Amino acid sequence: MPFYKYNTNRETADGVVPGVFLPAVIHNIHHYFTLLGVYKDGMIDCWGLITFEEFVAKTKSGWVTNTVPAGRTFGIHHLAYLTVTASEPEGTIDDLVKDVRNAIEELNGRPTAQERIADAIRAIAENETHEARAAFISAYADLPCFHRKYIFGSRMEKHKDIQRLLEPTKDT
């Protein structure tokens, strides 16, 4: 079942490349709301078409971000410019990178962190092995924090069994 729902595509000489939109902020003097175009071929459109590796570099440089500092101008194109008094992102910039990576995986028909977590939970329910637990921990680490609520609900503290799986063992 597709997790990413805001579809787009890009025309190339070889045909149409499917993609999805993800929200982000571009910091170009001011901060601007934008929709990143994330495509099956691993290209990302963030005010210019770049590779995934270039995208990661742009997040590290602050060009692509998920927050706006207090006192700064935030533009929503053709709608408004706002002066931000406070901003609290849902997740870190690394979570945005994870989201882009998962979208590319889904577009290519490969398992996303969401699917890998579900598979690991099923495997653990059948037989809790070191390998199944390691698969769960790896998938959980690859899952953007803001998607956890869609898998576990908004109250992670209810899931003591899941919390236990994330705790280090003498083997890890």
Work out the number of other CB atoms within 10 angstroms of the CB of residue 19: 24
- Whether the per-residue pLDDT at 171 is higher than 70: the answer is no
Confidence of residue 1 (pLDDT cuts 50, 70, 90): low
Tokens representing 77? 């194109």
Average pLDDT, the chain: 90
Q: What is the pTM of this model?
A: 0.87
- Whether the per-residue pLDDT at 4 is higher than 90: the answer is no
Q: Give the tens place of pLDDT for each residue, 30-79.
A: 999 999 999 999 999 999 999 999 999 999 999 999 999 999 999 998 99
Q: Give the tens place of pLDDT for each residue, 96-145.
A: 999 999 999 999 999 999 999 989 989 988 998 999 989 999 999 999 98
> Tell me, what DSSP letter sits at residue 160?
H
